[in-house]
Amino acid sequence: MEMLLVLAVLMTVVLIVIPSYQNYTIRKEEKRFFELFQQDIYFAQSQTHATTQTAKVVFREKKESYEIFTDIQTIVLSRKIPKSIQLKKTSNLTEIYFNSNGTVVQSGTLRFATSSGEKAVTVHLGGGRVVFSE
């Protein structure tokens, strides 16, 4: 009887811990994605300063990824987007395009649906300032 009680308590603890751990790993994966995404945007902009070529970050909905191009055609980097993150249809940008001097061509907002709500990336005209917000 005592063994059944211990087993019941153990199973209850396991049933509580596993879903929380899964949510934790999803949140960590999303956080890591946005940190990498921010670094990749800065990388694309720094490439324009270093090479005096244009650069852009383009989202590929079908491939569930984004790519960084320099000089319009050369793919420098490609990254997968986690399954828990989706670019929303309410975004008015699907790419961030930098001129050869590092300035942004078009301002707008990329909106992402995540497991913890919406996150937005706002691109401002001028010096290529990009703001991440929740």
Output the domain CATH number for residue 88: 3.55.40.10
Total domains in the fold of the chain: 1
Other Cβ atoms closer than 10 A to 70: 20
For residue 14, pLDDT over 90 is answered with no
More confident residue, 21 or 61: 61
More confident residue, 110 or 9: 110
- pLDDT tens track for 60-107: 988 899 999 988 788 989 999 999 999 999 999 989 999 988 889 889
Q: Measured between alpha carbons, how far is 120 from 109 in angstroms, rounded to an integer?
A: 7
**What average pLDDT does range 102-128 have in this prediction?**
89
Residue 129 belongs to domain spanning: 2-133
CA distances from 26 to 20, 42, 64, 66 (A): 10, 25, 17, 19
So what's the pLDDT on residue 132? 84
